[in-house]
């Protein structure tokens, strides 16, 4: 992999670094809002005193700390592969461009020695998984990698209680910032509690440190509820999710295409409201992620 000078220097000096993924850029939002958001997220992390490291695969090589131009290219270029763990050897050997999901980004972040990773919402157990077996690789890598993922819970399109059960099986500690409930991406609540509610970045950092000190392998999941002013009420968004899921079923959309399809369709159905919430929650996660990364380096 290629680590940017800036990220490498920060890691060497023990300064806080925050990893960011690229699927959210290439497959999660439309151009040019995807690029604007990615740059704004980086800027937010810098302002908080941490170093952002956007991760993706360029010509088969993992890049840690993309340049502005590279981020722009990830936002624009057509046909960029959506890379889950299983796809890493394929893009490597074919020298392809790959946007890394949470699962693949965790692999690269761990290799680079980055502990904290910020995204929007993780993948999880899809609704109807008892028939389709569609369970995101994100959950498996959360169980395996020593990386803390800061998100607004799991995407609302998923089955949240089943996702929490698999996280338990995988041994992932699920911590929620100031709210009882595990967040459901667009909404602050899901109806299901996280394992523990923490009150400050320092407290989260202490839990991460305890897990590492004990030599316990695997990730920690931080659920950061979207702020009240732009969070969407659960019953408002649920109708549109059901509608989008129904259309996806009728069109036979499956596998890796389902999440990008649903995010796009829900944006259309809500007249852009869901996209606005998605953008703002990622920025909100960047603030918390940077503060946790800082608190961790101070420990
Ligand atoms: N967060 C967002 N938008 C996204 C994603 C996260 O706000 O598009 C991406 C992440 O890369 C996550 C992926 O890993 O969605 C889940 O895809 P799947 O359901 O196919 O595992
Ligand atoms: Mn899947």
Tokens of 160: 């949240």
pLDDT at 46: 98
pLDDT at 104: 98
What's the helix, strand, coil split of the chain in %, to 5? Answer: 50, 20, 30
Cis before 233 (ω within 30): no
pLDDT along the chain (299 residues), means of 10: 98 98 97 98 98 98 98 97 98 98 98 98 96 97 98 95 98 98 97 97 98 97 98 96 96 94 96 98 98 97
> From the CA of 128, how far away is ligand 2's center (Å)?
12
> From the CA of 134, how far away is ligand 1's center (Å)?
13
What ligand 1 atom has the least distance to the C-alpha of 100? Answer: 11
Q: Please tell me the pTM assigned to this model.
A: 0.97
> From the CA of 123, how far away is ligand 2's center (Å)?
8
By the 10 Å C-beta count (0-12 exposed, 13-18 middle, 19+ buried), 33 is classed as: middle
Q: In this structure, are residues 28 and 100 in contact, taking their beta carbons and an 8 Å threshold?
A: no
21 carries an active-site annotation: yes
What ligand 1 atom has the least distance to the C-alpha of 126? Answer: 19
Residues within 6 Å of ligand 1 by CB: 21, 23-24, 27-28, 101-102, 119-121, 123, 136, 138, 256, 259, 263, 278, 282
- Out of 48, 73, 115, 155, which one is annotated catalytic? 155
Nearest-ligand number for the alpha carbon of 257: 1
**Residue listed under structure tokens 């904290």:** 116
pLDDT at 259: 94
What ligand 1 atom has the least distance to the C-alpha of 137? Answer: 21
> From the CA of 50, how far away is ligand 1's center (Å)?
24
Tokens of 81: 């592969």
pLDDT at 155: 92
């Amino acid at each position: 992999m290629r680590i940017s000078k800036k990220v490498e220097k920060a890691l060497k000096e023990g300064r806080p670094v925050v990893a960011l993924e690229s699927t959210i850029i290439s497959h999660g939002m439309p151009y040019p809002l995807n690029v604007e958001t990615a740059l704004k997220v980086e800027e937010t992390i810098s302002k908080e005193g941490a170093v952002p490291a956007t991760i993706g695969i360029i010509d088969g090589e993992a890049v840690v700390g993309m340049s502005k131009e590279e981020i722009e290219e990830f936002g624009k270029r057509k046909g960029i592969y959506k890379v889950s763990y299983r796809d890493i050897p394929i893009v490597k050997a074919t020298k392809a461009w790959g946007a890394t999901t949470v699962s693949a980004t965790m692999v690269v972040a761990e290799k680079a020695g980055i502990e904290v990773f910020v995204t929007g919402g993780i993948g999880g157990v899809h609704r109807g998984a008892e028939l389709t077996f569609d369970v995101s690789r994100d959950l498996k890598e959360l169980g395996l990698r020593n990386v803390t993922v800061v998100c607004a819970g799991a995407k609302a399109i998923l089955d949240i209680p089943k996702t929490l059960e698999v996280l338990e099986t995988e041994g992932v500690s699920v911590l929620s910032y100031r709210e009882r409930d595990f967040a459901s991406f667009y909404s602050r609540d899901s109806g299901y509690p996280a394992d523990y509610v923490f009150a400050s970045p320092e407290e989260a950092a202490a839990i991460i440190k305890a897990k590492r000190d004990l030599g316990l392998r695997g990730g920690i999941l931080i659920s950061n509820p979207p702020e009240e002013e732009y969070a969407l009420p659960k019953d408002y968004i649920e109708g549109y999710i059901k509608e989008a899921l129904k259309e996806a079923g009728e069109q036979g959309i499956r596998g890796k295409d389902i999440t990008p399809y649903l995010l796009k369709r829900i944006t259309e159905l809500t007249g852009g409201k869901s996209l606005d919430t998605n953008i703002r929650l990622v920025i909100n996660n960047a603030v918390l992620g940077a503060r946790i990364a800082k608190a961790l380096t101070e420990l």
